[in-house]
Amino acid sequence: MRRQPPWSRRGPRERRRDFPTQWDPWPPSLLEPGRRLLPPHSASWRKSLPGTSGVLCKRQHFRHTKKCCRMDIISNLVMLRELDIRRVINRNAMKCFDSSTDCFWSKSSDGTVYVPYTISSAFNDVQRSTILDAMKTFASETCVQFIPQTNEVDYVSIESDVGCYAYIGKIGGAQTVSLDVNGCVYNGVIQHELNHALGFVHEHTRSDRDLYVEIIWEYISEDEVQNFEKQDTNNLGTPYDYSSVMHYSNYAFTNVSGMATIVPIPDPTAFLTPSGRTFTSPNYPSPYPMNANYLYLIHIPSGQVSLQFSSFNIQNTPSCSGDYIKAYDGSSTSSPVLRDKTCGNMSIPALTGSSSSVLVQFVTDASVTAPGFIASYIISGPTQILLTGASGTFTSPNYPSPYPNNENYVYLIQIPSGQVSMTETLDNTPSCSGDYIKVYDGSSTSSPVLRDKTCGNMSIPALTGSSSSVLVQFVTDASVTAPGFIASYSTCK
């Protein structure tokens, strides 16, 4: 018998319904310096939000549908640094099950769902490019295409408000998708919020989720239970996706440090994250399905993608006319070919793309199958993150959860005259030979050092640069990790 929330005696009809069930955790990186972090969904946090309402229709990750309902929407999302997401493209286009509503974006006569958009001038050129890249992913893998708004009445208005949030489904007129410039302009975050705008809710709330995860109610506060309530969805026959960009992590909203709120079934050691760097063929190491066409899109904020197959065993046919893998140097099948059709049981050399995107296509026919493959990727060169504005806050990846291993992040702060104050908790090694922070007085690692390698659990005194740029380098090794850091910067007076 599954655990039930201790307040379940109230019954579902007695719970508050003035807020939606698909809230996303609020990242510390979005807080203004000195502002107190309010627990998401607490009474104080709710009072700080303006109420908005509209006719909504919930759908999940190109797969789950529900009839429209009325509720208030503002969502906030844990900041993701990159996106590793797989979608199957041989499925039907989306349909609204209730023809009396217009809560879904309509499909045109050519079978494409066109979604008009505008992008606020609050975003700089780099941020705008990141948003457009995230939109291109939808066009390369689905029947959805975002197009610049001209005279359309209904459109998505991408703005920099406080936090990351979106309405669920089409509500009519200009509907806001908020991507705070101080913490939301990352590929995974953008795609998550655009999925909401298209009508999708969270993976862990789909109707069959109890077959795949157990919700540990005892570690979820009453004010946050709505984030985990199961929805009446139509899953369209698609498999449960632990690595979905719409899935919460193991410890989302936990009220006891170190205790998971979502435990996978049957493997309690599985880790739920949309930023994993390893992917496999379906069912691996069991035989993969026949008559399938899979796309695995790897997209990182910056740098180059380097892809490696640690195991490769696919049906061998002349000229790979049956099952095969094909890799593209970009985000779509129209990008240059990085490796042409490959099959058989072999070792494949590492593949390095020329940009921040690599697309892997896996096609199978109706005959023989095989175990398939295991692949992983690394970032070739540092991941560069640009920070602009008079002031702001930034964090290590996943903060305050442990940061990833084997990373090289570069945070470039560009303001008229900068002062950076930081507090860190890093793996402590002799001479900081493992994980470390290093700060440069300029825009590159060849600039003068403002603070040399620093690690451990400490407060770092305020650092003042002599120019309009300060560069913070964060390097991690393959061993121990720690919570990381939260840092703020401001213009010198």
Catalytic residues: 193
CA distance between the termini of the chain: 62
Instruction: Tell me if 204 is assigned to a ligand binding site.
Output: no
H runs (alpha helix) in 244-313? none
| 227 torsion bin: left (phi>0), alpha (psi -120 to 50), beta (else) | alpha
Q: Report how far residue 209's alpha carbon sits from residue 380's, in angstroms, rounded to the nearest whole number.
A: 36
CB within 8 A of 389, min separation 6: which ones? 181, 182, 415
Alpha carbons within 13 angstroms on the beta-carbon side of residue 118 total: 16
CB atoms within 10 A of CB 128: 16
Instruction: Tell me if 247 is assigned to a ligand binding site.
Output: no
Angle between the N-to-C axes of helices 125-141 and 187-198, in degrees from 0 to 180, rounded to the nearest 10: 60
Q: What is the 3-state secondary structure (H, E, C) of 1-35?
A: CCCCCCCHHHCHHHCCCCCCCCCCCCCHHHCCCCC
Q: Report how far residue 301's alpha carbon sits from residue 187's, in angstroms, rounded to the nearest whole number.
A: 7
CB within 8 A of 386, min separation 6: which ones? 124, 126, 127, 412, 414
120 residue type, one letter: S
Nearest to 476 by CA among 399, 416, 413: 399
β-sheet bridge partners, residue 254: 220
What the block records as the tokens of 245 is 């960009």
44 in helix, strand or coil? Answer: helix
Task: Indicate the Cα dihedral angle 117, 118, 119, 125, nearest 10°.
Answer: 90
160 in helix, strand or coil? Answer: coil
- DSSP letter string over 49-94? S---EEEE--EETTTEE---EEEE--------S-EEEEEE--SPPP
Instruction: Tell me if 196 is assigned to a ligand binding site.
Output: yes
CB within 8 A of 166, min separation 6: which ones? 73, 75, 175, 176, 177, 178, 193, 194, 196, 197
139 in helix, strand or coil? Answer: helix
β-sheet bridge partners, residue 88: 294
Annotated binding site for Zn(2+), which residues? 192, 196, 202
Annotated binding site, which residues? 192, 196, 202
